[in-house]
Amino acid sequence: MNTLNSKRRWMPYLWLLPSIVLMAIFVVFPIAIVFKLSFSEISKSGIVGGFIGFKNFKDAIGLPAFKTVMVNTFWWVLSVVGLSTVIGFALAMVLNQKFHGRKIARAIVVFPWATSLVIQASVWNYIIKFEYGNLNNVLLNLGIIKQAINWRSSYTIEFIWECWVGIFVTIPFVTFCVLSGLQSIDASLYEAATVDGAGFWDKTWKITVPLVKPSLTVSTVLNIIYVFNSFPIIYTMTKGAPANKTDTLITYLYMLNFYDRKKGPATALSVIGFVILCICAGIYMVTVMRKEEEE
């Protein structure tokens, strides 16, 4: 009896073991090293020295570009996650309708997901080049514009383009999460609502949104994490130029680490980013999930 009981108690952990071992070795260990590094002195070439307390963190916060970068990161995450959620949601609603060619449309929508970010960013970088970019080529040769347009005339516009590429590659994920949620909704709910005289918006807000919310929650949390940590788009398109004005936290700390060789503050910044992310994602998850449980 006793052995059976203890077996039952230990069984779950045994099932978790492979996963835990894998993550402990390959994820937790490197994370631990980052934490250790953030409190250590690191030379310009990367030699790790002794413990120096919070000096790296102080240096990081004192960096002149720190504020700009934080503000950029905020806009980056907000616009990419927010807009891709809105557009993805709308797209999923449309793709859930019955129409000719729906299968093809669904397959096409998934494309941006299937291409790596480095490639996607390179292509868009090429597309919006003023002098020989493909966007000008197409618009000119189709007669939509009369003269080539400089699509990246200021850094604000360049940042908007970077956000667009971020949105572009994030939409498929949201769309498919919502689409899966939509498919599970019972059609009779809508019929009943129609009988009660509900309009399109009523049905959207009162039936669709609440029922799709759980799948949106998961996709939003994962999106916040992925977008916050997204590196190749900005690195490929502007490298943060001019003077970190288009950098987000992650590209900034990369530049700081490998170009400016301020490796200590760079490591500290990555820990700061982690904490911010934990807090944001944590708050979001707790509030949303608590609400769901209440409902």
Partner 1 sequence: MSPEVLKKQNRTALLLMVTAVLLVAILLSLPAYVFRAGVYTKKSSNTVVGDEKYLSVLDEVNAVADEYREKGFDVSVSESVTERTNSKGETTSLVTFNISQEFTRNGWSFLGAGLSSSLILVVLLSCTLLSLACAVAGSLGTMEDLPRRLDACSSMLRSAAGFFALAALILVPVFVMNNTVLFSRKLSLYNAGTVTDGAEAFYRKIGAFLFGDSAGEDPSGALKGLTFHSTAAIWLTVVPLFIMILAAIQLRHGSISETLMRGLLYAFVLVVCVVTLYPYYVMLVSAFRSNAETNDMYFLHLLPTKWIWSNLQDIVNRGVLRYLLNSGMIAGGATLIAMLCGIPAAYAMARMNFKGKKAFLGFVIMSQMFSPVVLLIGIAQLMSTLKLNDSILGLMFINAAFNQAFAIWLLRGTFVSISPEMEQAAKIDGCNTMQSLLRVLLPMAAPGIVTTLIFIFINAWNEYTISTVLISTASNRPITVGITQFSSFNMIEWQYLFAASLLATIPVVILFMCIEKHLVSGLTSGGVKG
Partner 2 sequence: MKKILAIALALCMVLSLGAAAFADDDITLDVIICQYGPNTQEWFLGKGMNGTNFVDKFEAENPGIKLNLEVVSWNDVYTVVDTRIAAGQAPDILNIDVFANYANEGLLEPVSQWCPEELYNDFFPSFIDQSVIDGTVWAVPDLASARALFYNVDMFEEVGIEVPTTWAELEDASQAIIDFYDGEVYPWGIDMTTDEGQAAFAYYTWGNGGGFVDADGNWAVNSPENVEAIEYAIGLINKGYTNPSPATQTRYDLQDMFAAGKLAMVIAPNQLPTYVADKGGSINLATANIPANEGKSSSSVGVMDRVMAFKDESAPDQAKRDEAIGKFAEFFYNPENYVGWVSMEGFLPAVNSAVGALVEADPSFGAWLDVLGGCQFYPTAKAEWDQVKQGVIAAEQNALTGASVQAELDALQAALVG
Question: Contacting partner 2 (CB under 8 A), which of 11, 34, 78, 241?
Answer: 241
Alpha carbon distance 196, 199 (integer Å): 9
Alpha carbon distance 256, 269 (integer Å): 10
- Comparing CA positions, the residue from 157, 159, 137, 161 lying closest to residue 148 is 137
Q: Distance of CA 100 to CAs 95, 97, 105, 173, 190, Å?
A: 11, 10, 9, 23, 22
Among partner 2, partner 1, none, the one that 31 touches (CB under a kind-dependent 5 to 8 A) is partner 1
Q: Based on CB atoms, which residue is closest to partner 1, 55 or 129? A: 129
Q: Based on CB atoms, which residue is closest to partner 1, 68 or 96? A: 96
Shortest CB 278 distance to partner 1, Å: 6
Q: Based on CB atoms, which residue is closest to partner 1, 115 or 287? A: 115
Shortest CB 108 distance to partner 1, Å: 5
- Is residue 120 part of the contact set for partner 2 (CB under 8 A)? no
Among partner 2, partner 1, none, the one that 210 touches (CB under a kind-dependent 5 to 8 A) is none
Distance of CA 226 to the CA centre of its chain: 3
On whether the CB atoms of residues 227 and 170 are closer than 8 A, the answer is yes
Among partner 2, partner 1, none, the one that 9 touches (CB under a kind-dependent 5 to 8 A) is partner 1
How far the first Cα of the chain sits from its last, in Å, is 41
Q: Based on CB atoms, which residue is closest to partner 1, 124 or 159? A: 124
Reduce the secondary structure of 48-105 to three states and give it as a string: EEEECCCHHHHHHHHCCCHHHHHHHHHHHHHHHHHHHHHHHHHHHHHHCCCCCCHHHH
Shortest CB 88 distance to partner 2, Å: 29
Q: Based on CB atoms, which residue is closest to partner 1, 95 or 237? A: 95
Question: Contacting partner 2 (CB under 8 A), which of 63, 69, 263, 269?
Answer: 263
Site residues (vs partner 2, CB under 8 A)? 18, 42-48, 64, 129-132, 150, 152-153, 155, 158, 237-245, 254-255, 257-261, 263
